[in-house]
Amino acid sequence: MNPEIPLCVDLDGTVLNSDLLLESAFSQLKRQPLAMLQWPRWWAVGKARLKAELAALAELDVETLPYNADFLDFLREQRARGRPLVLVTAAHRSLAEPVAAHLGLFDRVIATDGQCNLAGARKAETLVGLYGERGFDYAGNAAVDAAVWRRARRAIAVNASAKVVALARASSEVERVFTARESRPKLWLKAARLHQWLKNVLIFVPLLAAHAWNDADKIILCLVAFLSFGLCASSVYLLNDLLDLSADRRHPRKCRRPFAAGALPILHGAISAPILLLAAFALSVWVNPKFSACLGVYYLLTLGYSFRLKQILLLDAIVLAGLYTLRIIAGALAAHLVLSFWLLAFSMFLFLSLALVKRYAELDTLAQQGELEARGRNYQVGDLAILQSLGGSAGYLAVLVLALYINSPDVQHLYRQPLVIGFLCPLLLYWISRVWLLAHRGLMPDDPVIFALTDSVSRRLVLIGAVILWGAL
């Protein structure tokens, strides 16, 4: 290796396990959703203009970006040997220069400006003009980099597919290949939050409450509704992760999410989200129009939550409780069952309590880290006591609704021994109290609903509750 031959290095997908154009697009979309209406006009002027406009409004934390650790080690080794390193990227200069300054590895930065999109053939011509034909080595990751490799002395393929590696070998002498990221099914299941589909069992609650568990047609409709809600929820989770990249990377646990960690390409997530949404609504149409409308309300409400509502103090918890209750409403609409006021009131209070547990657990984690407030949430660590009070009260109100329901005329035609249901009240009081006590001890995960579905004590209490209901029939 000649140390005087500069090593020119791409940024997106090479130094970074991400794409700064997409990062800046979702950053802008998060802060100014209506700005996306300008994207086609900027693109029509040229991709360089689009990148400049997106970069101008983007807020990227260069310290938390997902860097390619193995490749950076290689670059540090090359720099220690005295080799000139040049960051040459199609990303906009205003984004590339802070990254270069943070890494402290590069002697020079060549990047896209407001006039010229430095990609493919233009990048090749620029490098040949500076260093001459075959006067530089180049590290890249995409098929468009073949135009540069053909003019370079040697090629380095980073995070490249087998097809791109073959292009590199056909274009130049390949010095080294860094293994590509694998889009393993396990990562996609994690990104789509398949475990969160457990929440959609609430769709079956109206079916059980109406004692219609032996109606095959209604069961099939609820099963399809369950799948539809799951696909819609996964679509929202993907979009939410793409919008929250920067915030997730600063979180002790969320930083391991596939898109935030750079384990999955942002582009793949941006494509998958609308596909899942279309599949969800296609299934909802098969169920019935009212269920489709309910799914539409759920999606719009979750979008509103992702963009703005989760930043509004306490309203975020009420919206979360409403989203859980919407699942119950959806189940009733899917199975053509009459909604019970008692069930809806019980659901709102219970899930409001659990939503407040979620916020409490997040704030408690921040308090243990010495933080004073939750970024983007409008909560402060000093709110822990009042959240505990509000959440406990909401949970006990759910028990009160259950007690009033037992003594209402509505329960008489469903149960022969309605007073037996009263044993559910102390059971629920114990469970709610235990949930809040665990949260106070810092033993509650971020999502208490998933905790409720996976906790062994909670499962035993559900079994006891089922026995009580069976005794009341």
Domains of the chain: which residue ranges? 7-178, 185-324+331-338, 340-473
For residue 328, give the amino acid letter. I
* Cα–Cα distance for residue pair 148/155, rounded to 1 Å: 9
* Cα–Cα distance for residue pair 177/172, rounded to 1 Å: 13
* Cα–Cα distance for residue pair 205/432, rounded to 1 Å: 19
For domain 7-178, give the fold. Answer: Rossmann fold (3.40.50)
Structure tokens at 309: 């509502």
The reported pLDDT for the residue numbered 339 is: 84
> What single DSSP character describes residue 171?
H
* Cα–Cα distance for residue pair 242/26, rounded to 1 Å: 6
Q: Which residue reads 């943070």 in tokens? A: 102
| 129: Cβ contacts below 8 Å, ≥ 6 apart | none
* Cα–Cα distance for residue pair 333/327, rounded to 1 Å: 10
The reported pLDDT for the residue numbered 183 is: 61
Q: 146: how many CB neighbours lie within 10 A of its CB?
A: 19
Residues forming beta bridges with residue 139, ordered by sequence position? 9, 156
Structure tokens at 347: 């659901």
Q: Which residue reads 């990249």 in tokens? A: 245
Residues forming beta bridges with residue 154, ordered by sequence position? 137, 173
Is 137 within 8 Å of 153 (Cβ atoms)? yes
Q: How many angstroms separate the most distant Cα atoms in the chain? A: 91
Phi, psi of 364 (to 5 degrees): -65, -40
The phi-psi region of residue 159 (left if phi > 0; otherwise alpha if psi is between -120 and 50; otherwise beta) is left
| 357: Cβ contacts below 8 Å, ≥ 6 apart | 391, 435, 436, 439, 444, 448
Report the side by side order of strands in the sheet with 154-158. Answer: 108-112, 85-92, 7-9, 137-140, 154-158, 173-178
* Cα–Cα distance for residue pair 317/380, rounded to 1 Å: 15
Structure tokens at 425: 């009240």
Fold agreement between 7-178 and 185-324+331-338 = no
Is 224 within 8 Å of 295 (Cβ atoms)? no
Is 205 within 8 Å of 337 (Cβ atoms)? no
> What single DSSP character describes residue 379?
-
Q: In 132-254, where does DSSP find H-type helix? A: 146-149, 162-171, 185-191, 205-209, 216-243, 245-249
The reported pLDDT for the residue numbered 224 is: 96
412 to each of 305, 339, 407, 421, 467, how far by Cα in Å?
A: 39, 17, 9, 12, 19
First to last CA, the chain: 83
The reported pLDDT for the residue numbered 374 is: 66
Rg, C-alpha atoms of the chain? 27
* Cα–Cα distance for residue pair 377/446, rounded to 1 Å: 14
For domain 185-324+331-338, give the fold. Answer: Tetracycline Repressor; domain 2 (1.10.357)
| pLDDT in single tens digits along all 473 residues of the chain | 556 799 999 999 999 999 999 999 999 888 888 888 899 999 988 888 889 988 887 778 889 999 999 999 999 999 999 999 999 999 999 999 999 999 999 999 999 987 788 889 999 999 999 999 999 999 999 999 999 999 999 999 999 888 999 999 999 999 999 986 666 788 898 999 988 898 899 999 999 888 888 889 999 999 999 999 999 999 999 999 999 898 888 877 788 899 999 989 999 999 999 999 999 999 999 999 999 999 999 999 998 888 888 888 899 999 999 999 999 999 999 999 988 888 899 999 999 999 999 999 888 887 777 776 766 677 888 889 999 999 999 999 999 999 998 888 777 777 788 888 889 999 999 999 999 999 999 888 767 777 877 788 999 998 999 899 888 87
Residue 395's nearest CA partner among 423, 427, 353 is: 353
